[in-house]
Amino acid sequence: MSCVPWLAELLRNAETVGNVPGTSKVGRLQMYEWITITAYPWIKALHVIAVISWMAGMLYLPRLFVYHCEAEVGSKQSETFKVMEWRLLKAIINPAMIVTWLAGLYLAWSGHWYASGWFHAKLTLVLVLSGIHGFFSRLVKDFAADRNTRSQKFYRIINEVPTVLMIFIVILVIVKPF
């Protein structure tokens, strides 16, 4: 069974364009379908792993900001938080977001999901989540330069935004309500 229904239909209706091996439409389409069927579940697994990593970082980083607010500027604790925040952003959150986007775009293209309403809603929410990611990146730079102007309460509240977005994104992907 094909992961891409429109491609299976195309294969059924394809015609041979000659007797030269490897030059028929059917041969090329069968190879493409085999690659797509083989790659799709692996790329989907990669996408899920990247999303989990991205969300773990997006949920942990604001929590670090809450604790960083308590640390006195210039203290050893404050400097430790700066390193932790920078490493989390550069080593986990940024690469996970990039892999999430690349794998997700491939899945949308190969699964022909880009025409679905639920996908448009999901894409919008993922764009908002990416904007929050950019905002968190700015906050890491502000903390690194000892320019934080926000309270612990702000970071406790902003910590919930990725969670709410994640809940709606998962519902859209699993339920596909429209």
Number of domains the chain is built from: 1
Is 105 among the domain residues?
yes
Is-contact 108 102, C-beta < 8 A?
no
Which pLDDT score is estimated for 110? 87
Smallest CA-to-CA distance from 58 within 149, 117, 128 is with: 128
State pLDDT tens for residues 9-23. 555 555 444 444 555
Residue 112 is given by DSSP the state T
Which pLDDT score is estimated for 78? 97
Does 53 or 114 have the greater pLDDT score? 53
The pLDDT of residue 104 is above 60: yes
Is 30 among the domain residues?
no
Give Cα separations from 89 to 18, 80, 94 (angstroms). Answer: 54, 14, 6
Is 114 among the domain residues?
yes
Does this model's pTM top 0.85? My answer is no
Which pLDDT score is estimated for 4? 57
**Residue 75: CA count within 13 A, CB half-sphere:** 10
Rounded to whole angstroms, how far apart are CA atoms 163 and 55? 8
Which pLDDT score is estimated for 23? 52
Range of the domain at 134: 40-175
Is 69 among the domain residues?
yes
Is 138 among the domain residues?
yes
Which pLDDT score is estimated for 38? 84
State pLDDT tens for residues 41-85. 999 999 999 999 999 999 999 999 999 999 999 999 999 999 999
State pLDDT tens for residues 25-39. 666 667 777 777 888
Which pLDDT score is estimated for 5? 59
- Give me the mean pLDDT over the 106-131 stretch: 94
Which run of H or of E encompasses 106? helix 94-110
Residues of the chain above pLDDT 90, percent: 74
**Token pair of 161 as six digits:** 């935004």
Rounded to whole angstroms, how far apart are CA atoms 153 and 156? 5
Does 22 or 145 have the greater pLDDT score? 145
Is 9 among the domain residues?
no
**Token pair of 88 as six digits:** 């989390």
Three-class secondary structure of residue 3 per DSSP: coil
Is 101 among the domain residues?
yes
Is 21 among the domain residues?
no
